[in-house]
Amino acid sequence: MDAVHEVSGRAIPFGLKNVDTDVIIPAKWLKTITRDGMGQGAFETLRANPDNLFDSPEFKGSPILIAGDNFGCGSSREHAAWALLDLGITAVIAPSFSDIFSGNAFKNGILTVVLPQQAIDRLMEVARTDPVTIDLEHQTVTTPFQDRFPFEIDPFRKHCLLNGLDEVGLTMARGDAISSYEDSARTAMPWLAHPHLHQGEHAA
Amino acid sequence: MATRPRTLYEKIWDAHVVERREDGTCLIYIDRHLVHEVTSPQAFEALRLAGRPVRRPDLTLAVPDHNLPTTARRDAQGKAIPIADLESAQQLAALERNAPEFGIRLIGDADAEQGIVHVVGPEQGFSLPGATIVCGDSHTACHGGLGALAFGIGTSEVEHVLATQTLLLKQSRTMEVRVEGDLGPGVTAKDVVLHIGGLLRASGGTGYVIEYTGSAIRGLSIEGRLTISNMAIEHGARAGLIAPDDKTFAYVKGRPYAPNGAEWDAAVAWWRSLATDPGAKFDKVVVIDAADIVPSVTWGTSPEDVVPITGTVPAPEDFADPSKQDAARKSLEYMGLEPGQKLTDVEIQNVFIGSCTNSRIEDLRAAAKVLKGRTKASNVRWAVVVPGSGLVKQQAEAEGLDKVFIAAGFEWREPGCSACLGMNPDKVPAGERCASTSNRNFVGRQGPGSRTHLVSPATAAASAIAGKLADVRELAES
């Protein structure tokens, strides 16, 4: 994963609430076995309208998306994060995110920035004409008009993003701790530690 | 740690901590990993590229479900019928290749045990109370109906679990949703969870794990509890939980992967000890009177858009929040509904009985009970029953339910996710309405332009007969 320090540029003033992952990437685009090319299907229904923001000359390829409450709700499909990346979006600012989506975004190096609705309203206004800057190191969102909105981020996620760390590799390095947990679970909860397939008495 | 009263969630969490970091993040051990064909190919590919094995293939089970056609899969000679959609076929083939390559058991399309992964897990005893269970699918919350901590994960997390059998997680806040009292006639688990969704809204559970408690929840069968927990994600909660009790143990006992002998006794003793301690604090408590719940239906494009079947379509101005007003306007336009319209006047063209929410034997029995001796209305173009698994299908056929459905004008299909999300050929055409026992009424969910009304199996059956969304209680009285 590439390291992320700052995301700066035009921000799409989208603003919609409860944007589910079926809207971000409809199910028919999930039949792939690679991570590439999802941008084509991103926001397909909305982009059927020729006047949509995503394809407007002004916002096409913008690195930031500003959305409403509960962004990324619904399905766990990571394809939603891949679709955003393929559109060029590397940061989303919203009042709240679904838990699964924010995890998926983080694992793909997409910054999810939580700000109060008031700040979102102001950024939506600025975004129509001017760029927005997200500084991960200092945890701020700023505009050319002296706006400065601080945001919170999980310190571990911040560390991983700033250093471009591979979480699977990090956890594999803790193999001994995992083995020692498995050893104790084998005694304490053997039915969980070792499932045995045997002839059942039940049908459905 | 043991001195402070703890919730069910906290007890399962504490039993699975491999390591606790300074910032509170924990490395959590995963007991069971269910894998299906849609969200796993990229995870297996990443393992292959990095030369990493699957740490515990014995704790992993692969089941195809999303893409499989629900029409016959074998011809008269027992030969596989090729899948017309090449992308679907390619994704299914990838799972069939990946599972044996990494030493994982695959319950394939020709096996009697195949079905929707969230139906198969509990049915096989692979999902157990007190276990941590994950799957690259948000409706993994379903398994919480057994008292398991179960939640959906993305593909990067699927890769993480395959490689390490753990996940790095922050503990969630806890919410108790207590439903007290007796459910009225015609009111099912689905109506309860739709009602809860209407109260909590689509994001009310974000950041929480919900424990459903109270006499109405305890009174439900395991099938009903799985239905409730399944839709925890529709209120934003990553997981739902229902404390395991004697009903749970009776359900689990004797299933293929369930413990037996001395291990069974030890397991039951541990499962009993998991119940939330008296005095344990939830971060939020919501109390609902079961008497307030009636058969429910959605009118819009978010699972929070719930009204009683006796109600009317709301107007955008009925909502205080300006952004919700805007969303309601868009939903009404998409759904082709007018404010003030009675729900029971809304004509439907399709009925779908199935999905990980409502495709278990009890769901099929409830629908068949309503349909027995009746037929679907002529304006209902497509009515279909998709059992949750091959074993559910066998059981239903042994009880003669298939004959009731077919006599009522329904199609009787092979198991899979089907029209819940239309990744296979089962779709609702643009502009048409579907009374659906699934879990999401999102824009385009059942096919581009499809209009979904979420209902219980009994309401779906009653609606098929009426040709309109219908109050099952009126039908029962006639």
Q: Tens digit of pLDDT for each residue in A137-154?
A: 999 999 999 999 999 999
Which tokens sit at B330? 């868009």
CA–CA gap between residue B46 and residue B39 (Å, rounded): 13
Percent of chain B residues topping a pLDDT of 90: 96
Residue B465: in which H helix or E strand, if any?
A: helix B457-466
N-terminal to C-terminal alpha carbon distance within chain A:
44
pLDDT at B38 over 60: yes
Which residues lie closer than 8 Å to B257 by C-beta, 6 or more apart? Answer: A195, A196, A197, B124, B125, B126, B128
The more confidently predicted of residues B139 and B24 is B139
Q: Tell me whether residues A20 and B442 touch, CB distance under 8 A.
A: yes
Q: Which chain B residue's Cα is nearest to A153?
A: B23
Q: Give the CATH class of B8-169.
A: alpha beta
Q: Tell me whether residues A195 and B38 touch, CB distance under 8 A.
A: no
Confidence of residue B53 (pLDDT cuts 50, 70, 90): very high
User: Computed from CA positions of residues A181, A186, A188, A194, in that sequence, does the dihedral angle turn out positive or negative?
Assistant: positive
Q: How far are the Cα atoms of A121, B24, B234 from residue B321, in angstroms, in the given order?
A: 14, 35, 20
Q: Tell me whether residues A192 and B170 touch, CB distance under 8 A.
A: no
Q: Tell me whether residues A98 and B260 touch, CB distance under 8 A.
A: no
pLDDT at B1 over 70: no
CA–CA gap between residue A9 and residue A134 (Å, rounded): 9
Q: Give the CATH class of B296-477.
A: alpha beta
pLDDT at B224 over 60: yes
Facing residue for B254 by CB, picked from A17, A78, A200:
A200
Facing residue for A76 by CB, picked from B136, B304, B445:
B136
Residues linked to residue B298 through DSSP beta bridges, in sequence order: B306
- Is B16 within 8 Å of B132 (Cβ atoms)? yes
B418: nearest Cα among B450, B375, B386: B386
Tell me which chain B residues have a C-beta less than 8 angstroms from the C-beta of A104: 154-157
Tell me which chain A residues have a C-beta less than 8 angstroms from the C-beta of B124: 200
Q: Which chain B residue's Cα is nearest to A70?
A: B203
B380: nearest Cα among B298, B469, B475: B469
> How far is C-alpha B88 from the chain's CA centre?
22
CA–CA gap between residue B418 and residue B100 (Å, rounded): 25
Facing residue for B164 by CB, picked from A26, A104, A178:
A178
Residue B80 exposed, middle or buried by CB count within 10 Å (0-12, 13-18, 19+)? exposed
What phi, psi does A61 have (nearest 5°)? 80, 5
Q: Tell me whether residues A185 and B154 touch, CB distance under 8 A.
A: no
Q: Tell me whether residues B327 and A32 touch, CB distance under 8 A.
A: no
Q: Compute and round to an integer the Cα radius of gyration of chain A.
A: 21
Q: Tell me whether residues B206 and A18 touch, CB distance under 8 A.
A: no
B283 and A CB contact within 8 Å? no
Residue with tokens 């393929």: A86
CA–CA gap between residue B2 and residue B142 (Å, rounded): 28
- Is A72 within 8 Å of A80 (Cβ atoms)? yes
The more confidently predicted of residues A202 and B6 is B6
Q: What is the pLDDT of residue B472?
A: 97
- Is A62 within 8 Å of A13 (Cβ atoms)? no
Q: Tell me whether residues A34 and B42 touch, CB distance under 8 A.
A: yes
Decide: helix, strand or coil at residue A51.
coil
Q: What is the pLDDT of residue A201?
A: 45
Q: Tell me whether residues A74 and B168 touch, CB distance under 8 A.
A: no
The model's pLDDT over B118-151, given as tens digits with 9 standing for 90+, comes to 999 999 999 999 999 999 999 999 999 999 999 9
- Is B428 within 8 Å of B450 (Cβ atoms)? yes
Facing residue for A18 by CB, picked from B29, B163, B302:
B302
Kindly report the number of other CB atoms within 10 A of residue A5's CB atom.
10
Residues 306-325 of B with CB under 8 A from A: 323-324
pLDDT at B476 over 90: no
Give the residue extent of every domain in chain A.
6-153, 166-193
Facing residue for B42 by CB, picked from A33, A198, A201:
A33
From edge to edge, which strands make up the β-sheet containing A11-13? A11-13, A64-66, A91-94, A111-114
Which residues lie closer than 8 Å to B317 by C-beta, 6 or more apart? Answer: B325
> Nearest C-alpha of chain A: how many angstroms from B187?
23
Beta strands in A57-179 (DSSP E): 64-66, 91-94, 111-114, 132-135, 140-142, 148-150
pLDDT at B346 over 60: yes
ipTM given for this complex: 0.94
- Is A25 within 8 Å of A77 (Cβ atoms)? yes
**Number of Cβ pairs closer than 8 Å across A and B?**
222
The residue among A24, A44, A52, A76 with the most chain B CBs within 10 A of its CB, best to mutate, is A76
What phi, psi does A135 have (nearest 5°)? -105, 105
Tell me which chain A residues have a C-beta less than 8 angstroms from the C-beta of B163: 168, 171-172
Q: How far are the Cα atoms of B37, B323, B449 from residue B444, in angstroms, in the given order?
A: 21, 21, 5
Q: Tell me whether residues A191 and B153 touch, CB distance under 8 A.
A: no
> Nearest C-alpha of chain A: how many angstroms from B445?
7
Q: Tell me whether residues A77 and B391 touch, CB distance under 8 A.
A: no
B130 and A CB contact within 8 Å? yes
Q: What is the DSSP string of B324-345?
A: HHHHHHHHHHHHT--TT-BGGG
Percent of chain A residues topping a pLDDT of 70: 97
Q: Which chain B residue's Cα is nearest to A95?
A: B203
Write down the mean pLDDT value for chain B: 96
Q: Tell me whether residues B38 and A171 touch, CB distance under 8 A.
A: no
Q: Tell me whether residues B154 and A189 touch, CB distance under 8 A.
A: no
The model's pLDDT over B205-219, given as tens digits with 9 standing for 90+, comes to 999 999 999 999 999
Q: Which chain B residue's Cα is nearest to A199?
A: B256
> How far is C-alpha B360 from the chain's CA centre?
10
Q: Give the CATH class of A6-153.
A: alpha beta
Q: What is the pLDDT of residue A166?
A: 85
Facing residue for B131 by CB, picked from A192, A196, A197:
A192
Confidence of residue B2 (pLDDT cuts 50, 70, 90): low
Q: pLDDT (tens digit, 0 to 9) for every residue of chain A, 204 residues total?
A: 789 999 999 999 999 999 999 999 999 899 999 988 999 999 999 999 999 999 999 999 999 999 999 999 999 999 999 999 999 999 999 999 999 999 999 999 999 999 999 999 999 999 999 999 999 999 999 999 999 999 999 998 999 999 999 899 999 999 999 999 999 999 999 999 988 777 544 444
CA–CA gap between residue B420 and residue B436 (Å, rounded): 8
Give the residue extent of every domain in chain B.
8-169, 296-477
Facing residue for A204 by CB, picked from B123, B170, B304:
B123
Kindly report the number of other CB atoms within 10 A of residue A118's CB atom.
10
Residue B189 exposed, middle or buried by CB count within 10 Å (0-12, 13-18, 19+)? buried
Which tokens sit at B49? 């590229």
DSSP state of B281: P
Facing residue for A198 by CB, picked from B123, B136, B260:
B260
pLDDT at B39 over 60: yes
CA–CA gap between residue B284 and residue B58 (Å, rounded): 37
CA–CA gap between residue A35 and residue B42 (Å, rounded): 7
Q: What is the pLDDT of residue B478?
A: 46
Tell me which chain B residues have a C-beta less than 8 angstroms from the C-beta of A168: 46, 50, 52, 159-160, 163-164
What phi, psi does A57 have (nearest 5°)? -55, -30
User: Mean pLDDT across the stretch B413-433?
Assistant: 97
